[in-house]
Amino acid sequence: MPIAHCPAVLIAAPASGQGKTTVACALARLHARQGRRVRVFKCGPDFLDPHWLTLASGAPVYQLDLWMTGQADCAQRLHDAALDADLIIVEGVMGLFDGEPSAADLAQRFGLPVLSVIDASAMAGTFGALAWGLQHYRDGLRFAGVLANRVASPGHAEMLEAGLRDVAQWQGALMRSETFSLPERHLGLVMASELGDALTRLDAAADALAATPLGQMGAAALQAWAVAFEVPDAPQSAFPVAALQGQTIAVARDAAFCFLYTANLDCLQQMGAQLVYFSPLEGSALPPCDALWLPGGYPELHAQTLATNHAMRASIASHVRAGKPVWAECGGMMALFEQLTTADGKSYPMWGVLPGSVTLQKRLAALGPQQLDVSACGSGQTLRGHAFHYSTCATDLPVAARTQAAPGRKLRGEGEALYVVGSVRASYFHAWFASNPAAAAALFLKDSA
């Protein structure tokens, strides 16, 4: 395939919580409203920001990570997007240089210009020092300028701009405003679908951005961010296109089970699976299916509803008794245990498929990129992914395997356990299926249970 050219920008910051998602959404919404085809990607493993970015851009959002998704996967997705997009936006992760690999590594690998977003609410001259440092800390990074966020007043904005060594890098200021703030909780942003005014908030952010130099960039100005995207040199993982042919997989999807990578759904469908969705919160039974996927989410926020939906509990138990495969990750696994205790100390009975209990704590229990050898599931291969959870589990189940840290990273403890009980496979580990499609397929096949 030919090289594809498209304006692109990576939105970064000196740390988490600076407002990257708000600015990425505002920029995407602004250009989408003007009729441009906008494609947005999220750097690193993240389930929540993509909900907002999808709403802002009107297009599916995929993850880019040089390790978890792989360099070839990143190259292919960016190239494909560039073929029909007018603008590509990549939202970074944590601080620009944080992590292994970092957002800066991704930007440098693909030549993406970097726009720095800095929360300037409690600074003046130091803003210029931060902007200078982000721009010059590493050689070889393209820089698209700096935007001040949560600014107190026009006078404050003037002080910030005056502190820059190169005022040509000034992309403007977003004032502090509740009209376009994105609410958060313990795992990150509240999902856009949970707020009745989500699109109103994004429109307000886009309107505010429209008054800045960044927001006033038209089609011609965007060409300063043009990037040439090439097809990957290395082949992607072998893709068994018929591995799940004829298999129907029921996928839990509602407010309690919502941590789903779009790429994972694509992967299963490309291997021949038919996906049917259901709500454990509102449904009374599983749809007819050969296998069940219980993804992560917020069972702790909906524990009482899950506990009182006896019909769904019975349907899931029937599925397990029939020896049909179940893949449960993080929140999905939490619901399979006998009891869940929330952070405020209240306990609720769960589905009782697995013996033991889970307890929410106020401190983070695990975070980071990891990989899991799923030999115990019959595939004998490794999946890449990550873990991010606030709960811990207590069970007498034997551990079939444990995750290992991604190269260059260290685990806090032993690694996430994989439990294999009959046809059920469960772990806190969130898998990226496209990292090893054959291993992912094995999770849903009865013969490998």
Instruction: Please report the pLDDT score of residue 354 as a whole number.
Output: 97
pLDDT digits (tens, 9 = 90+) for 193-215: 666 688 899 999 999 999 999 99
Average pLDDT over residues 115-122: 96
Q: Using CA atoms, how far apart are residues 370 and 189, in angstroms rounded to an integer?
A: 23
Instruction: Please report the pLDDT score of residue 199 as a whole number.
Output: 85
pLDDT digits (tens, 9 = 90+) for 350-405: 999 999 999 998 877 677 899 998 876 655 689 999 998 889 999 999 999 999 88
Instruction: Please report the pLDDT score of residue 263 as a whole number.
Output: 95
Range in 230-234, 270-274, 337-341 the model is least confident about: 230-234
Instruction: Please report the pLDDT score of residue 185 as a whole number.
Output: 46
| Residue 301 pLDDT > 60 | yes
Domains annotated on the chain, with CATH: 4-229 (3.40.50.300), 248-448 (3.40.50.880)
Joined tokens for residue 309: 């939906």
Q: Using CA atoms, how far apart are residues 50 and 54, in angstroms rounded to an integer?
A: 6
pLDDT digits (tens, 9 = 90+) for 73-92: 999 999 999 999 999 999 99
Band (pLDDT 50/70/90 cuts) for residue 412 is confident
Average pLDDT over residues 303-329: 97
In terms of Cα–Cα distance, which of 428, 443, 361, 431 is closest to 395? 428
Average pLDDT over residues 221-231: 95
Residue 274's Cβ-count burial label (10 Å; 0-12, 13-18, 19+) is: middle
pLDDT digits (tens, 9 = 90+) for 245-269: 999 999 999 999 999 999 999 999 9
Instruction: Report residue 400 CA to chain centroid gap.
Output: 27
Band (pLDDT 50/70/90 cuts) for residue 237 is low
| Residue 184 pLDDT > 60 | no
Q: Using CA atoms, how far apart are residues 111 and 225, in angstroms rounded to an integer?
A: 10
Instruction: Please report the pLDDT score of residue 405 as a whole number.
Output: 84
Range in 47-61, 326-340, 346-360, 402-416 the model is least confident about: 402-416
Residues taking part in catalysis: 330
pLDDT digits (tens, 9 = 90+) for 26-60: 999 999 999 999 999 999 888 888 989 999 999 99
Band (pLDDT 50/70/90 cuts) for residue 241 is confident
pLDDT digits (tens, 9 = 90+) for 121-156: 999 999 999 999 999 999 999 999 999 999 999 999
Instruction: Report residue 64 CA to chain centroid gap.
Output: 9
In terms of Cα–Cα distance, which of 378, 267, 396 is closest to 325? 378
Q: What is the pTM of this model?
A: 0.92
Instruction: Please report the pLDDT score of residue 191 as a whole number.
Output: 59
DSSP state for residue 93 in the 8-state scheme: -
Instruction: Please report the pLDDT score of residue 362 as a whole number.
Output: 82
Q: Using CA atoms, how far apart are residues 326 and 332, in angstroms rounded to an integer?
A: 10
Instruction: Report residue 309 CA to chain centroid gap.
Output: 29
Instruction: Please report the pLDDT score of residue 377 as a whole number.
Output: 64
Joined tokens for residue 136: 């010059």
Instruction: Please report the pLDDT score of residue 175 as a whole number.
Output: 94
Q: Which amino acid is at 401?
A: A
